[in-house]
Structure 1
């Protein structure tokens, strides 16, 4: 009996099902983190630094709003000045044609100011307001020197409009107003807004380099096209449009190379029509003997 009871007990034990193990479900976010080349500790450390940075920004913003950082900065600047970090000398280099008094008046406004309070970006921006100054480099030379290096623009032409003359650079920037007798050998651009098209004119003349040295002036006509003036006195009327003007100028350069048009009895060339060119001759001067005969007749008549 005992043996049979043990067998029944063992059968019941064998049939008892084992408890199932729970399968851990991995979320999409966990899979994404596992795919990253960072460990979980690295991610936690980065999150901690982000929180610290955010708190720092908030504290700084609150200090700015309360004016605490400005006061601290001014106190720091005052300590720097007492320690000798104060503008005592100003060195300006690169000035040739620029008005030196204007530059020194602007830069010397920073004299005796504490070095940390010198706004070099503002000084540079103020210097760039002058037409002659193309660029300016402003730097602090500790303990007491403010250094300014000026890069000047170069005059390339004279812009004439409504009886007023101004020096301009190759980009058309106005440098200063001048008198007609002060322009020298610079080419003269005539017309309203002619300076704004100085770059395009230079590019146009570069396409006919053989003629470029002969051009002493240009007139911007009707805000749409150029008339060129040559050293020998002739005028060349070009058509509208960059492409048409370039083709006409090259065509004229070829004709001048073959027929020597410049320096003859022609005074005006009109190439506005792409199909044909129009030339105008200079009026013939009266013969010298004819002039003397006319004057003698007048004299005899007066005597009578």
Structure 2
């Protein structure tokens, strides 16, 4: 065997493929077990489908169809790369996947498409979102890169996100010293100040200012 032609690989490197093929110096194309090699390739985490073809007298052709990473999924301390259907591809995550949305909590991987789709309607906001938390398997909270939490409603997320972008463009809302923005009610937006900002406001108003109430997410 003189040549091995590879195509379709993006996430898997050449060494990993050759290792799975079990090709060594002096390997014979005639004796090479193409079916066994195909099975080993299909067992690799990133491989969706593998094709192994012999071309006599001396060439082996490998074509791979890889799984497509969609989001990162975190539950507890474990983070995985999953596809759009929510199936885990691998738990080996590095900096190459930092631009993928991080969804958090059990069940979030199966519903990632709904929050990812909603965020695609507000491209101005998407780069500022660090993570999306599925709350009680009903709705989503966003955590922005500056630490602000945004509590979204169960329905009409797109409208709530559009309103958030509008308020930010008009008043610089997301640059303010705030902890959380509650958009769960269609007719009301509640802003909760950070502890320092709330204390400062309290001093400035002689104790009459309020920072907003906390509460358990539902």
Counterpart CA distance in 1 for 2:94 and 2:192 is: 29
CA contact (8 A) 1:90 1:107 kept: no
Indicate whether 1:265 and 2:177 are aligned: yes
Map Cα deviations across residues 191-222 of structure 1 (whole Å, 9 max, x no partner): 11322222222211111222112212111112
Partner residue, 2:76: 162
CA contact (8 A) 1:115 1:140 kept: no
Report the alpha carbon displacement of residue 166 of structure 1 after superposing the two structures with TM: 1.8
Indicate whether 1:130 and 2:44 are aligned: yes
Instruction: For 1:88-237, list aligned pairs within 5 A.
Output: 90-95=4-9, 97-98=11-12, 103-108=17-22, 112=28, 114=30, 118-119=34-35, 124=38, 126-153=40-67, 155-169=69-83, 172-178=86-92, 184=98, 186-237=100-151
* Cα gap change, 1:91 to 1:180, in 2 (>3 Å): closer
Partner residue, 1:238: 152
**Secondary structure of the corresponding residue to residue 175 of structure 2:** coil
Indicate the structure whose relative CO is greater, using CA pairs within 8 Å and at least 6 residues apart.
Answer: 2
Report the alpha carbon displacement of residue 135 of structure 1 after superposing the two structures with TM: 4.5
Map Cα deviations across residues 111-167 of structure 1 (whole Å, 9 max, x no partner): 646489744xx7556534433234434333223322113344454543211211223
Select the structure that is richer in helix.
Answer: 1
**Secondary structure of the corresponding residue to residue 254 of structure 1:** helix
Counterpart CA distance in 1 for 2:189 and 2:131 is: 21
Partner residue, 1:23: none
* Cα gap change, 1:128 to 1:270, in 2 (>3 Å): farther
Partner residue, 1:254: 166
Indicate whether 1:280 and 2:216 are aligned: no
* Cα gap change, 1:226 to 1:175, in 2 (>3 Å): same
Report the alpha carbon displacement of residue 252 of structure 1 after superposing the two structures with TM: 1.8
Counterpart CA distance in 1 for 2:138 and 2:107 is: 11
Counterpart CA distance in 1 for 2:103 and 2:21 is: 35
CA contact (8 A) 1:133 1:150 kept: yes
Stretches of structure 2 that go unaligned for 5 or more consecutive residues are 201-218
Matched positions, count: 196
Q: TM-score, structure 1 length as denominator? A: 0.53
The CA RMSD over aligned residues, in Å, is 3.4
**Secondary structure of the corresponding residue to residue 12 of structure 2:** coil
Counterpart CA distance in 2 for 1:106 and 1:112 is: 16
Counterpart CA distance in 1 for 2:34 and 2:86 is: 33
Counterpart CA distance in 2 for 1:232 and 1:130 is: 38
Report the alpha carbon displacement of residue 171 of structure 1 after superposing the two structures with TM: 5.4
Counterpart CA distance in 2 for 1:216 and 1:124 is: 39
* Cα gap change, 1:271 to 1:125, in 2 (>3 Å): farther
Select the structure that is richer in strand.
Answer: 2
